[in-house]
Chain A
Amino acid sequence: KAGVTQTPRYLIKTRGQQVTLSCSPISGHRSVSWYQQTPGQGLQFLFEYFSETQRNKGNFPGRFSGRQFSNSRSEMNVSTLELGDSALYLCASSYNPWAPTDTQYFGPGTRLTVL
């Protein structure tokens, strides 16, 4: 089975721009979660989607948004980019939608640099 894929792998943007990152989960997985990893804050949960609905949300400003499509693919969007948004953005998918917690499998990440 193919793993979680994320595109693009690298991205350079300037302050004020917006960006969209894409994530394709493992086939059959219906839950997709997004995390931000920075040297200063570590790994932080952004949000989780299941069946096209946001099920959980982390403590990030409204500039960070996401969505999930009917095929479980997910996108996250960051508007009005700030220098502090430079990070590795990791997507994870999990299979069992009925369990409260299932093992999450991560993609390779998208490294976003904001200049």
Chain B
Amino acid sequence: AQKVTQAQTEISVVEKEDVTLDCVYETRDTTYYLFWYKQPPSGELVFLIRRNSFDEQNEISGRYSWNFQKSTSSFNFTITASQVVDSAVYFCALSGNTDKLIFGTGTRLQVFP
């Protein structure tokens, strides 16, 4: 069975702090895909990144970076120099060989000015 665990329910930081959101996954598939989505108060899930199981390269996009480690089944997300606009719920998700996404329970990030 596939499972995604986001152990951090809520994180609060002050603007300009760095913050890391943890994601641990379980799957028996050899080929799988990992995603991060952001859900602002408006409700729409905004796609941030997709990574396949064969690509363990870390990725940086502006203030965002992702650390994928197959050895620990983790796909962590770091926001550098956080901003108030980063406040949202962040979801990690996993899919195998179908379009069905298995989501974690989400981490609510609050960034205070």
Do A and B interact? yes
Q: Interface on A for B, CB 8 Å cutoff? A: 31, 33, 35, 42-45, 48, 55-56, 58, 88, 90, 92, 94, 100-109, 111
Q: How far is the CA of A106 from the CA of B37 in the complex (A)?
A: 10
Q: How far is the CA of A45 from the CA of B103 in the complex (A)?
A: 9
Q: What's the nearest-Cβ distance from chain A to residue B37, in Å?
A: 7
The verdict on B105 contacting chain A, using a C-beta distance below 8 Å, is yes
Select one of B47, B96, B99, B104 contacting A48, CB under 8 A.
Answer: B99
Q: Assess whether A106 is in contact with B45, with CB atoms less than 8 Å apart.
A: yes
Given the contacts A42-B106, A103-B35, A103-B50, A108 and B44 also touching, CB distance less than 8 Å: yes
Select one of B50, B91, B96, B97 contacting A43, CB under 8 A.
Answer: B91
Q: Assess whether B100 is in contact with A109, with CB atoms less than 8 Å apart.
A: no
Interface of B: prevailing SS:
loop
Q: Assess whether B101 is in contact with A56, with CB atoms less than 8 Å apart.
A: no
Chain A: which residue is nearest B52 at the CB level?
Answer: A101
Given the contacts A56-B98, A106-B37, A42 and B103 also touching, CB distance less than 8 Å: yes
Q: What's the nearest-Cβ distance from chain A to residue B76, in Å?
A: 20
The verdict on B43 contacting chain A, using a C-beta distance below 8 Å, is yes
The verdict on B95 contacting chain A, using a C-beta distance below 8 Å, is yes
Select one of B96, B98, B103 contacting A55, CB under 8 A.
Answer: B98
Q: What's the nearest-Cβ distance from chain B to residue A33, in Å?
A: 6
Q: Assess whether A107 is in contact with B103, with CB atoms less than 8 Å apart.
A: no
Chain B: which residue is nearest A46 at the CB level?
Answer: B100
The verdict on B33 contacting chain A, using a C-beta distance below 8 Å, is yes
The verdict on B57 contacting chain A, using a C-beta distance below 8 Å, is no
Find residues 30-44 in chain B having any chain A CB closer than 8 Å to their own CB. Answer: 31, 33, 35, 37, 42-44
